[in-house]
Every structure is written in C-alpha cells, then in structure tokens.
Amino acid sequence: MARPKEEHPTAGELEVLKVLWQRGPSTVRDVLEVLNESRPRAYTSVMSLMNVMADKGQLVRREQGRAFLYEPAFEREETLGGMVADLLGRAFEGSASQLVAHLLDQTRPNSGELDEIRKAIQQYKQAKPDKSDK
C-alpha cells in the first residue's frame, strides 16, 4: 500500500523551509551550506528532498543559469499556522487552553518568555475582542 501523502511538511522539509524563509530564494548548494552547520548531509540528498518538495507544491523552483532557485510556495505563518491548527484539532480536540497548558508544561518558559506570552495575549485581545467581554 502506498504511503499517504503528507499534508504538512516533514521534519526534514521543515528544516529546508526554515532556511528558505530566512534566506529567501536559494540554490540547493546555499541550503546545503546552512543545513551542514548543524549536521553533515549529502548534496544529492538535499537536492532530492527539495525536488520532492517542489513536486508536492511546497517549493517553487525556477531556473537561474545552470542552477535552480527554490523558494517557499507559502509564507512561514501560513505553513506553521496550518501545522498548529492540525495539532490543535487532532491532539487537543480543538481546545486552545489545553494546547497552551501542555506547551507551558513541556517548555517551562522563563520569566521573559512568559512576559512575551502575556503581551501576545493582550495584543490578541485588543485586536479580536471577545464577544462575551461586552
């Protein structure tokens, strides 16, 4: 039986996307150089992965001379938002409070991070007031 097509990026695909979101359009060699800073990989492995990602619609590939330039087909926030929404629905039955509680328990944020989280919640409340607050 064929493996089902992944809707969201795999761990390896996400590594490539992170490089491209940070650097912008890049060649396989550009991406390989960044990825090899954390652990060595073969050029052909990265090239194959990026070609698969282009075939899946995750990357846009265009010729530039003898090489190809790759860039993400979707913005970072759109991709990560889809992944979080999927996790929220599948693992936490749609409960944002359960997701956040689990996240806090697992990551044990420091006081600075907690301040940033409070600030994000305040900004969210101001941008999207809760109907029950009125």
Give the span between the Cα atoms of 68 and 55, in whole angstroms: 14
- The predicted pLDDT at position 128 comes to 79
Site of tokens 């995750």: 58
- The predicted pLDDT at position 73 comes to 97
Structure tokens given for 130: 């809760």
Write the single-letter amino acid at 82: G
Q: How many alpha carbons lie under 13 Å from residue 55 in its C-beta half-sphere? A: 8
Q: From residue 68, how far is each of 17, 27, 107, 130 by CA, in Å?
A: 16, 6, 39, 47
Extract the runs of DSSP E, i.e. beta strands, from the chain: 59-64, 67-72
Own/partner pairs, 120-129, CB within 8 angstroms, 24+ separation:
none
- The predicted pLDDT at position 9 comes to 96
pLDDT in tens, the chain (134 residues): 554 556 799 999 999 999 999 999 999 999 999 999 999 999 999 999 999 999 999 999 999 999 999 999 999 999 999 999 999 999 999 999 999 999 999 999 999 999 999 999 999 999 977 665 54
